[in-house]
Structure 1
């Protein structure tokens, strides 16, 4: 149920108040808007760059491109605006590059039979699909003439292809014997260079031959003469520009910057004075080297003389809410640790350097004066899979609200809970203020755990730990906000329940409530007359706590025989109900009975179906509950009687499982998330699908964000 790679694209626009929307009436006479062309991807809060091959800049417009799941984000640092290219194959985008004129973008992807795709940047539409690789595309590049595209496959297929992409043919091809991490074209288009494990290779293109032959010809390659550096892992490569067009620059993971001549000879190298080097970017005037601990070294390409070290980003574990002035960012912190720099791209027109760090943050630095670098833009995102998203409730008395309207909260395997607001310029009624590090992010709550230790972990293939690959035993699994907006409950993957006071963000409760991960949390609504919190876990237990009495335990229910996937409260027919479902294919309907100073829930109905039940929501009238099932159906049950009212398909596809369901605040629509990576919106009454969308390259969570 995680959002792969930490991208959050679950903001579904609530357009119910828009005067321009065409409305239709359903059988019940309620107004229903036509959503088929109205649901759009508004903003992506996340990034899935894993190396220099996943970050690119259009040298003419300054547009920065990076992958976020199966979406390419086209970001304008000057205007802080995003546009998006959506990969309809739903495959994770692994590499991308702009054409020299900025008109086209080429992407590579992972998965079975991956494609190299070419996109028109202005139209954001696909213009070519090139399919020859079998397992994944490690890196891609346009030739300086934009006539050719080179693509290199994952180490499993080890194929280097040169495409005449407008003809959709491979004009030259060959195999490599090592894992390739990067590729770069020479300025005169006569050759390109690949870099990888014990590998620097020069590949030569004879344009006169490749233009005339329609069949694929062998690609001529010659290894660089590495000498005593032959056992190194070369993590990135960039061919020289301008006066140094005959040179090729590369870096080793051990921290060496190397220069090769046009005769493939290793001319010279310098030490970067770092534990590990990840990426390189070369212009006519500068060489930028991205290294461990947030370091970026700047060198002169003409002689490899060291020029300066750029400022580092935020320290890991920083209280971002306390950084309201830029000067705080440039003042060092003793014994602080910083995220590694894993990708660089340079805009020569504006003299801006975009950097991505391995905690999934992005910074754009103004390097016009290397001795006085300024920050143009920055954003911080989850560094691991996002498990849950919760919208902050509407609080009647705005002075009592801890967060501004349209705020939402996410939790992740990176052991953080993040508070977001993408619209408000300030935080009304709260001591929280906007920070200079991430305009969409209000606050980060760091929970127990060493995230940096996970980020430092080496993975198979030499990459550093990334989002979905972090330790599955840690992380925050579920969050829920109390109806009055004052408390935030969270459950982690070890079974620990925490409650934070949202005004001060202080931890007011921490208890080892379960023996396994807490899959769901639910507060009772004020209309029930009760102040309860239910926590349900993979350990098959539901704990009911009294939130009005310092979260004292009221009852423990152990009727389920397998993981409990959802629990909800409702009030109907003058009774307070609690409904739960789980992997044991059971649904339990319970009714509250007063017992002494508290309440006890007793079972009134028990329903068993033939499919696993993954998620549940109660519609606003509290008459019915909707359950998302493994067979991709939505089953609607009457809460009072426990009887099934209707069943309809919750996914347009024929594969996957429904993992999340969510009714909108009006009760007209129900949204679903399917493991086939599609989101859908259905009419709750008729079951008609009114909109579908995609953007994630993994399973995703969702919630409605109401907006005026």
Structure 2
């Protein structure tokens, strides 16, 4: 139903994405044209032009992209995905020049683990994940499978990677847990025949494989932190090392440079240049979190490195210095707040981080980190002078947006963590909600703060707080199925609405005589502020809760996002969807329309921040 509902609907235009999945091994590559970085994020493959950061998106997968490979000439990109147990996991071959789907290949179950193109682009080899365990060779011209085989002769261990020969379309290598095989493809008989490589007494789990350009040796990176060098012709172990200083937390990724040196990325975040003969370290740099991708540009004078912290670094071979060129969140984004009036800056929170971004050139301007804590919600005060934030340790923290300096800390604000927060328009008060269901009003003074009142009517976590423009009333939504409108001058409840749902979000219409709510029952409900009656009820989503909602400043439209991963733009008066945005691969966690009505921001559980063109700009 979702597919039918969304295909006919006008689509939102995606302008930019902040996000990079640093957990996909070797997911980041440089296209042979040397002009584009290619990497996965959620269901999409992103092509990012190096000179000006312009992004293009390859949409076609129905679930997270798990591996990406680019053919030698760059004519094709192949990407594989994960899916649910028992379902087919698709491989898509993309025509790079046209930016279109060339072929959709379906044989593997549950997950595609790895992909490799043959050197003359005749064949593609695909490896299924551990629930599938098969290797398939595809003919690219006919788009058909030639043959397949189980990756392992017996069920011990599992296969993790495949790599093609550089000179022969009929030879490729597979490796994994205590397995290392050289395969020969026999096209006339439609068979692949493996030869086991002999590693003597060494028992290793191989994570990554690189074949030397002249096809003499195979280099294998292991989880034990050493590298095996195997003769490709004989399948015999030629050398291994380093014997003493092994790579901490294993070798995640390897690249062989033209000069014969190796670039090695480790699980502990070191990038090392080492000799291909005795594996001696020549140069070494420490990066944040495990290295998962090394992408060489051209002859190797420049290369890019991706890490589990969802960051991309650029290196020059000569100076071997890391330049951080791209950052993004590597866990679920909980909330987004936009600086009122300017629409140039916005803030997001995810895990222990609050980050401030520039909206036009989605670039991280500031990062505030509170180690080992989680930020649940944030707001930028109306005057733009402070960021207020709600944390799981029960504290409210107020930061300066220019420097990130901690200005105020309100300890023990809520017993079961602070879960929602909002600031009044006069910037004198903060309203907070907690995991225990209490709503508290705080006065912010030049040299401190004081608690004015605690209001206890909700029975469960407060999920959303919105304050009226006159700073005299507010509305709170809770997982207990109630929304309450409060007088925050006299500290009394004025109105309560109850529904059979866990409310996730609530908004005042700009004229402030109605609020709209949504939550786990997938309904969008308009309520009258004064008497609490239901004015209208809409079916907000076909599947899953609605987690985020926001109304445009002119009150004509509102936007929703939730577990169905769709961004929807609604006409407020008509109560119908006017546009749909399809690009998120995780549940949408929060959504905001900028005050100039030109831009829409949505964030998701996979760490992505998406910027869309809002389809209904305000009339001047």
Residue 646 of structure 1: CA displacement?
1.5
Larger RCO: 1 or 2 (CA < 8 Å, sep 6+): 1
Where structure 1 has 5 or more consecutive residues not aligned to the other structure, the ranges are 1-34, 211-216, 314-337, 396-404, 425-438, 450-473, 593-598
2:254 to 280, 301, 308: 280
- Report what 1:602 is aligned to: 492
Residue 518 of structure 1: CA displacement?
2.6
SS of 2:115's equivalent? strand
- Report what 2:432 is aligned to: 535
SS of 2:130's equivalent? coil
Residue 312 of structure 1: CA displacement?
4.2
Residue 196 of structure 1: CA displacement?
1.6
Residue 577 of structure 1: CA displacement?
2.1
Where structure 2 has 5 or more consecutive residues not aligned to the other structure, the ranges are 1-8, 599-620
Residue 222 of structure 1: CA displacement?
2.5
User: Is 2:459 the partner of 1:558?
Assistant: no
Q: Are residues 619 and 548 of structure 1, via their aligned partners in 2, closer, same or farther at CA, if it must alter by over 3 Å?
A: farther
Whole-Å separation in 2 of the counterparts to 1:144 and 1:281: 17
Whole-Å separation in 2 of the counterparts to 1:695 and 1:518: 31
Q: Tell me the TM-score normalized by structure 1.
A: 0.76
Residue 704 of structure 1: CA displacement?
2.1
| Contact 1:62/1:350 (8 A) holds in 2 | no
2:560 to 672, 692, 698: 672
Q: Are residues 620 and 350 of structure 1, via their aligned partners in 2, closer, same or farther at CA, if it must alter by over 3 Å?
A: farther
Q: Tell me the TM-score normalized by structure 2.
A: 0.87
Q: How many residues end up aligned between the 2 structures?
A: 573
Whole-Å separation in 1 of the counterparts to 2:509 and 2:64: 34
| Contact 2:138/2:146 (8 A) holds in 1 | yes
Residue 95 of structure 1: CA displacement?
0.5
Whose strand fraction is larger, Structure 1's or Structure 2's? 2
1:154 to 123, 129, 142: 129
| Contact 2:552/2:558 (8 A) holds in 1 | yes
| Contact 2:45/2:58 (8 A) holds in 1 | yes
Q: Are residues 287 and 698 of structure 1, via their aligned partners in 2, closer, same or farther at CA, if it must alter by over 3 Å?
A: same
Q: Are residues 167 and 657 of structure 1, via their aligned partners in 2, closer, same or farther at CA, if it must alter by over 3 Å?
A: farther
What is the RMSD of the two structures over their aligned residues, measured on CA atoms? Answer: 2.4
- Report what 2:476 is aligned to: 580
Whole-Å separation in 2 of the counterparts to 1:551 and 1:85: 50
Residue 274 of structure 1: CA displacement?
2.5
User: Is 2:603 the partner of 1:703?
Assistant: no
1:497 to 366, 383, 396: 396
Matches within 5 A, 1:216-295: 217=191, 219-230=192-203, 232-241=204-213, 243=214, 245-262=215-232, 263-271=234-242, 273-276=246-249, 277-285=251-259, 286-295=261-270
Residue 307 of structure 1: CA displacement?
7.2
Whole-Å separation in 1 of the counterparts to 2:481 and 2:98: 47
- Report what 2:161 is aligned to: 182
1:545-598 per-residue CA deviation (whole Å, 9 max, x = no partner) reads 1234733111112211222221212258xx932212222211212234xxxxxx
Whole-Å separation in 2 of the counterparts to 1:706 and 1:85: 30
- Report what 2:10 is aligned to: 36
Residue 179 of structure 1: CA displacement?
2.5
SS of 1:122's equivalent? coil
SS of 1:513's equivalent? coil
User: Is 2:96 the partner of 1:121?
Assistant: yes
Whole-Å separation in 1 of the counterparts to 2:31 and 2:127: 21
Whole-Å separation in 2 of the counterparts to 1:688 and 1:489: 34
| Contact 2:130/2:159 (8 A) holds in 1 | yes
1:265-299 per-residue CA deviation (whole Å, 9 max, x = no partner) reads 11112216431321112244342111255422224
Whole-Å separation in 2 of the counterparts to 1:224 and 1:239: 14
Whose helix fraction is larger, Structure 1's or Structure 2's? 1
Residue 385 of structure 1: CA displacement?
1.9
| Contact 1:55/1:97 (8 A) holds in 2 | no
Q: Are residues 626 and 419 of structure 1, via their aligned partners in 2, closer, same or farther at CA, if it must alter by over 3 Å?
A: same
Whole-Å separation in 2 of the counterparts to 1:510 and 1:151: 54
Q: Are residues 579 and 634 of structure 1, via their aligned partners in 2, closer, same or farther at CA, if it must alter by over 3 Å?
A: same
